[in-house]
Structure 1
Amino acid sequence: MITQEYFDSEVRRIIAAAISEDVGDGDHSSLACIPENARGKAKLLVKDKGIIGGVNFAKKVFAYIDKSLRIDVLIEDGTEVTFGDIVMYVEGPSQSILKAERTVLNAMQRMSAIATKTRLYVNLVKGTKTKILDTRKTTPGIRVLEKWAVKIGGGENHRFALYDMIMLKDNHIDFAGGITKAIETTKQYLRETGKDLQIMVEARNLIEVEEILRNDGVYRILLDNFDYEDTRKAVKLIGDKCLIESSGNINETTIRHYAECGVNYISCGALTHSVHNMDLSLKAVN
């Protein structure tokens, strides 16, 4: 998994890129009509319901724009909110507040949507041993924020990217010449490079599960698009030999059934690729 140092550097990069994209050579709307020394106060208003996400990110954006801005947080990340709630107040130079506004809102609306969907899925499997994972199906350039939002919602992060876990999916297996060949060459690669990476292998059916189990060194098996019956059979076959993950078009209707099959994890791309942004706004306080 990624280090805190890398996480922090990615957040800084995202903020810098977002402000560069949005502000360019200046917020000329504000520069044109608001005096440089004008001060103001604004509230971040919820116009929806769900789980709020991105509060701590917003604080970092405001600090990046102007360290003199004062933030008064009323509702923390991961809290359930509803229409009319005020998440925070920000006070200071009016031009600075407006310069940060769109980056704060865009990020928080998306992060809140992801946190809300994640919390729903986590609640649906409550009482089972199954944990909810995200995937790499994220928006290019802001993966850190989207995976952060999953954590806020109570889920867990899968591998962050291609470099922090070996994941042998169907195409890797087919290109490598089969499951056993893919695992053997992977273990050889890790020995030669000295890399300490866990190996995860995707199975498309029970026959492939059995072949994976004949190979040592596999940390987790991914059951891809298995039905309930085959998932239960796979869980029985695998036992405690390695961890088990289910994935593939799992939704609100089916997720509890898969969890009750006994899998350790369910990964859902929908947590990040199929959400409807929460409606938030930043309004001046007179």
Structure 2
Amino acid sequence: MIDAALAEDIGAGDLTSEYFVPADRRIRGFIVAREDGCLSGVEIALEVFRRVDPQIALQSMVSDGSRVGKGAHVISVEGSARGILTAERTALNFLQRLSGVATATRRFVDEVAGTSARILDTRKTTPGWRWLEKQAVVHGGGTNHRMGLYDRVMVKDNHLVAEHDPEELQAAIRRLKTEHPGVEVELEADRLEQVKSFLGFVGVDHILLDNMSLAELREAVEMRGGRTRPRLEASGGVNMETVKGIAKTGVDFVSVGAITHSAVALDLALDFVPPENE
């Protein structure tokens, strides 16, 4: 991904640096946070600079997962001005985007503090960036849901339209568990009648409670009784105003697509130290 991003940006060469920056010019600077946030992508940004010029001296001042305040120094860079300027935008693109995901996640995690619910991500990620964005969710204190279609079965409403017979559904779960014993099964329910039915199935690890009211979520938790399985995941209508109320119903997880699909990049910039101030 780093190589592809650099090739996309540099192409046949950084003409601005080649023609307007002396080859022997050295500079020193810091990547600085312009706002409060939670970091992710520090190691990726460092690797971008290394790929462009291995001679650039680098130091990370904070690590992935750290909270930073406005004005905090994140990374120091020193070396060839051409190399640093060529790498600057790609390094910041990774760092800003991933820190935006981590920061959005941290806000939701902080909001549900004191409850037993954990914040989950979804598959609503930037194509090609899923691994990095899910890592950013973890850096923000969240929990990863499935990585893709291959590591957890999730039978949603559209699947149930295709196969809605309970006996056939149970038979399919048994076949899956026999052939893929390590794969967990999650069934989506948008009505309490479905929750009651799914609680009677064998081999169901999670039930997704889709777009249910707070009263319905509490009733679903009560229907499970004292059991710890299947785990209950609330989804739909989740935002900063609603997430705490949802978490207080007793569900195990709250999934939030917005922490990846709508995360705003964290404001970070590379500031250079004037030579007279070194």
TM-score (norm 2): 0.91
* Identity across the alignment (%): 40
The residue number in structure 2 matching 1:127 is 114
What per-residue deviation string (whole Å, max 9, x for no partner) do you get for residues 183-214 of structure 1?
422432453x4463111111111111111122
AA paired with 2:246? Y
Contact 1:180 1:215 in 2 (8 A): no
The residue number in structure 1 matching 2:206 is 220
Q: Secondary structure of 1:167's partner?
A: strand
Give me the whole-angstrom Cα distance separating, in 2, the residues matched to 1:93 and 1:249.
50
Matched, 1:187 2:168: no
Contact 1:168 1:182 in 2 (8 A): no
Q: Within 5 A, what are the aligned runs for 1:76-155?
A: 76-155=63-142
Aligned-residue CA RMSD (Å): 1.7
AA paired with 1:279? D
AA paired with 1:23? I
Matched, 1:173 2:173: no
The residue number in structure 2 matching 1:259 is 247
Give me the whole-angstrom Cα distance separating, in 2, the residues matched to 1:246 and 1:158.
13
Give me the whole-angstrom Cα distance separating, in 2, the residues matched to 1:195 and 1:18.
38
The residue number in structure 1 matching 2:265 is 277
Q: Which runs of 5+ in 2 are unaligned?
A: none
What's the CA shift for 1:36? 3.3
What's the CA shift for 1:83? 2.7
Against the structure 1 CA distance between its residues 204 and 104, is the aligned structure 2 distance closer, same or farther, given a 3 Å change threshold? same
Give me the whole-angstrom Cα distance separating, in 1, the residues matched to 2:262 and 2:25.
41
**Counterpart among 185, 203, 212 of residue 189 in structure 2:** 203
Q: Which runs of 5+ in 1 are unaligned?
A: 1-13
AA paired with 2:198? I
Matched, 1:21 2:8: yes
The residue number in structure 1 matching 2:55 is 68
Give me the whole-angstrom Cα distance separating, in 2, the residues matched to 1:263 and 1:188.
28
Q: Secondary structure of 2:209's partner?
A: strand
What's the CA shift for 1:140? 0.8
Count of matched residue positions in the alignment of Structure 1 and Structure 2: 272
Against the structure 1 CA distance between its residues 180 and 234, is the aligned structure 2 distance closer, same or farther, given a 3 Å change threshold? farther
The residue number in structure 2 matching 1:3 is none
TM-score (norm 1): 0.89
